[in-house]
Amino acid sequence: MSARGPLMIGVEGPALTAGDRARLRDPRVGGVILFARNFESSSQLRALTASIRALRAGLVIAVDHEGGRVQRLAGGGFTQLPAMRSLGALWESDPDAARRSARQHGETIGRELGAHGIDFSFAPVLDVDSGRSTVIGDRAFHSDPVIVADLAAELVRGLAATGMAAVGKHFPGHGHVDADSHHCLPVDPRPLAAILGDDLIPFAALIAQGIEAIMPAHVEYPAVDARPAGFSPVWIGEMLRGRLAFDGLVFSDDLEMAGAHSAGDIVARADAAIAAGCDVVLVCNGFDAIDDLLARWQPPAQRELARRYARMSRR
């Protein structure tokens, strides 16, 4: 089996279990997202990714590997990268040095992940830091959207130099809400004009430069649509695909996050994300939820899925 389906899932530990193997053989599964629980050593991680590929050709393997607070793979062959805010701070005194450092960060991420059989990271964060969001905070490059776009573009160039694709997140911007979408549904009440003039600037810039994938936020923007962005055909269809002319892969954020629960049970969430325009849905940590989804979910055919997936794999 080599066809990649519209579901990306986690695996249980440092080696594949019987349950993992059964899930990964399902043709609806197109990829694996790794976490700290899947990493013990460099050699173990290489063995894990090799076993995933040996089980089923074509599965893509990803990880959240930004640096700072969000770096699932630390030690054992991986450089501990600083939070991206450090690059924004450097930009204040030496923009050219900050750009060089951002590109080097991208090269480091791409080189080290690729050496361990991992196709891409869910990076860079394109959120603009308003000083309100603690879950974003120093994960954001800067409070100025133009500087965010500048530094993120350099990091993406570094990834590209190693053959690695990039995923911009969290569209259309998570930086102006206090709440953490892991624990509740944040609401950003600003009008569309305010979002267009700030948060969307980095996304528009990176899309124009050819970024391969985007991840929408589990955040509600009621002045634009009553549905969270990850379930919104307004945000994904009209804004991302239409206004910004993005033709790459759209990954949902994790459907187990509390910010996604407004759509219903796990099947309803997957259906809502796909109906809104997501190509691939993520269920990362709850293996009962993954099993429930695989038992009951019938995703629609997606004509563009294979083409968009092809841009994400190193192979």
User: Which residue spans within the chain are E strands per DSSP?
Assistant: 7-9, 29-34, 60-63, 65-67, 70-71, 120-121, 167-171, 213-216, 220-221, 225-228, 249-254, 280-283
Whether the CB-CB separation of 251 and 260 falls below 8 Å is answered with no
Tell me if residue 65 is catalytic.
no
Question: What six digits make up the tokens of 79?
Answer: 């450089």
Tell me if residue 174 is catalytic.
no
Selecting among 26, 180, 182, 247, the annotated active-site residue is 182
**Tokens 């009008």 belong to residue:** 191
Of the candidates 131, 154, 126, 289, the one whose C-alpha atom is nearest the C-alpha of residue 217 is 126
Whether the CB-CB separation of 215 and 170 falls below 8 Å is answered with yes
226 phi, psi to nearest 5 deg? -75, -15
**Tokens 């993120």 belong to residue:** 152
Selecting among 253, 254, 271, 279, the annotated active-site residue is 253
CA–CA distance, 43 with 223 (Å, rounded to integer): 50
Residue 100, Cα to own-chain centre: how many angstroms? Answer: 24
Whether the CB-CB separation of 123 and 160 falls below 8 Å is answered with no
Cβ contacts of residue 92 below 8 Å, gap of 6+? none
Query: Which conformational region is residue 277 in: left (phi greater than 0), alpha (psi within -120 to 50 degrees), or beta?
Result: left
Whether the CB-CB separation of 26 and 293 falls below 8 Å is answered with no
Active site residues: 182, 253
